[in-house]
Structure 1
């Protein structure tokens, strides 16, 4: 919302959700038309080895970068939660973001990521969804008090801003799940295009509803001060925000292994023919987790990372490859009226990808990770009273 402008941002969010929904169905339709059951085999049959190689790179980079993003969020959130424990000093070694990331990875995310079957994460996904709603309620409740305490920026309600392309990249990152479509489609009891379409519509509508609520109440609270990681905007002494941070941290930690499954699946398909014996399964998982952890220890600007991953990985996976495969597999010519929507989505992707990348490089986002926002310091007593601090 901050990048695009609030009204335009809402329209773009709805548009990206629609395109994502449409292209996910196109992907499965393309697989059905070509007799393939994986994203890689579909692209390989459609565009040969060059297409297969490009897709494999993108399919690996997207979940890999997502895992790094989740670690960055963990490093932002968990130290602030630990600091709220009575008797814990802000200078303690175990509240350092690097220590927190390493410990949470070693103790929680790596053991879960070592599972071989994604079906075992079903209950984890349900818990993650419930916690997401809990966090949303907290953000809505906080918005009622923060809107009167935090000054709005002068351009808070501009219809559109010049960074809209960067916003589309972030939104594409948020909604993109094409890399896992065939894995989930294959796990359905009744795997048909019609059943997949119904599940996709319901899932995307729910995702859009949650995203709109986060966007509206998060942006209304902080307007032009909104950070890439929204919880960086809340004051450290805010008790309710601390509960929200805790729920959100669990959600992020439980989502991380699902991305690891996809990254590992790509490596398995490309280098080992889709069959990883357990020693290799263990080695590949540890290698992926170690690399993502190492990058997240060095890099901590979430917003910039989401932009680049969105335009370079998510945009081609959402806007370009699914409609391109469908148009190539379709018996009707590309200019046929029935192919108008896939063609339009393809053209949008061709424009958004380079434009979004150039904008992200020329106008990088600023970050203030780990620092208190100015309104927490300048009006400390008023905000602490509003937030119900125990300090």
Structure 2
């Protein structure tokens, strides 16, 4: 329906430009100012497409909460690892830069939506570049969502065995302590039946549950910083040294390892920017939230984004800082799993694991839903609903994601690859390209277009540079070496 409306919108917008737009602007000279409401009471001078969308009813506070849900995800678990491989000062610089760039891309998206006459990401791509633009947006969103699903299943793979061990008190190689078997079991028993539902219904609220779980996780990370000494006592270290840790290097501290570093450069530093971009991606959700905003205007929606990004910036910084200060250079790519090396039986951590496991398990069907819809629309856009096709697409998507989780060594590789490719496309490249193409009233010599062009170039540099360095790191670590085997990289 939205795509059909988008087609009607395009005709209306061209008609306004050709015949009626200039005749109306003398009545409302500040027609395109950010302070103008999206649907004012006097809409005679507004563009035709703006009057075809219903008035939103989401308050400013609810929109902030919803956007925070869209931003927050499993990426928070990898931020301490990024800080350990960049240092505190460099990490803060990168975090500020990625947050500012993300807000700037939101600004570009909102302005492009008003000019282009579309409130869905893929439709903007179609209006800007036709089918290739739509495919670029759709594929980027699909890759990002598959990366999110994979990261959630990685959490199941890493954390569920620890929860079972906490209740059984044993780890003698039983099948139910094997993360690969457990992620398949959870997928078949819980995720698949929920994913097959045509209407997600109450599952839509799991994003709020996920946000609350991550807030709880942050609180526990801060608490544990003051409970875990550095260096670890030998007794505590020996108690937990038998616990396998596929994510991180062997346990071992020196006096120097307990001193936080401010600038660090090593082979893993290249993963920092992709991890940060992965953590801040929410852009496909911006335009639907813009449509639902009560008394909407670009300025008001930009304010929603500013508050949401500031809140997530603070949460990300605190989680990364206290996680890093707890384990320093020994922090693993998945922070919550790093605690398993030192605490086999800790009630607070057990509660966190159960809460996070519940949230991510219920969130996988929610993330899968738009992927399946996109695939279904690309393959069979004109056909009626079919349970067979619905089931086949769902099973193939879950099977592929499970294979990815089982075969890829660490969650760091998912954060890195998706952050360097799909996240870079959604934050840097596509918003600036859409803006340059669709916003006709500004010349290429204007500061706005020059800034968008520089942003586009920056996006290509980030994507190509990060992907190149990550692939080089994979090739280097694929070579047999005692060091890489010990480090688990």
Q: Residues 275, 238 of structure 1: CA spacing in aligned structure 2 closer, same or farther, 3 A cutoff?
A: farther
State the structure with more CA Rg. Answer: 2
1:282 corresponds in structure 2 to: 391
Superposed, 1:1-391 pairs within 5 Å as: 1-117=83-199, 120-150=202-232, 151=253, 153=257, 156-161=260-265, 164-186=269-291, 188=293, 192-234=297-339, 235=341, 236-239=343-346, 240-273=348-381, 277-279=385-387, 280-330=389-439, 331-364=441-474
Structure 1 position 176, deviation (Å): 0.8
Structure 1 position 166, deviation (Å): 2.5
Structure 1, 352-361 or 338-347: larger mean CA deviation: 338-347
Deviations 1:89-127 (A, max 9, x none): 442221211221012212332333334456644421222
Structure 1, 182-191 or 202-211: larger mean CA deviation: 182-191
After superposition, the CA RMSD in angstroms is 2.7
Q: Residues 191, 287 of structure 1: CA spacing in aligned structure 2 closer, same or farther, 3 A cutoff?
A: farther
Deviations 1:331-379 (A, max 9, x none): 212331233443332222111111111111223498xxxxxxx9xxxxx
For the 8 Å contact 1:311–1:357, the answer to whether it is kept is yes
2:51 corresponds in structure 1 to: none
> How many Å separate the matches in 2 of 1:25 and 1:257?
30
SS of 2:167's equivalent in the other structure is: coil
2:19 corresponds in structure 1 to: none
SS of 2:173's equivalent in the other structure is: coil
> How many Å separate the matches in 2 of 1:204 and 1:121?
24
Paired residues in the alignment total 368
Q: Residues 327, 278 of structure 1: CA spacing in aligned structure 2 closer, same or farther, 3 A cutoff?
A: same
> How many Å separate the matches in 1 of 2:432 and 2:304?
20
Structure 1, 254-263 or 188-197: larger mean CA deviation: 188-197
> How many Å separate the matches in 2 of 1:74 and 1:102?
10
Q: Which runs of 5+ in 2 are unaligned?
A: 1-82, 233-252, 478-485
Q: Which runs of 5+ in 1 are unaligned?
A: 367-373, 375-391
Deviations 1:32-57 (A, max 9, x none): 21112321111111112222222222
SS of 1:84's equivalent in the other structure is: helix
> How many Å separate the matches in 2 of 1:171 and 1:20?
11
For the 8 Å contact 2:283–2:426, the answer to whether it is kept is yes
Q: Residues 30, 299 of structure 1: CA spacing in aligned structure 2 closer, same or farther, 3 A cutoff?
A: same
> How many Å separate the matches in 1 of 2:106 and 2:199?
22
Deviations 1:65-112 (A, max 9, x none): 221222122101110111010454442221211221012212332333
Structure 1 position 184, deviation (Å): 4.2
Query: What is the TM-score of this pair, normalised by structure 1?
Result: 0.85
For the 8 Å contact 2:230–2:258, the answer to whether it is kept is no
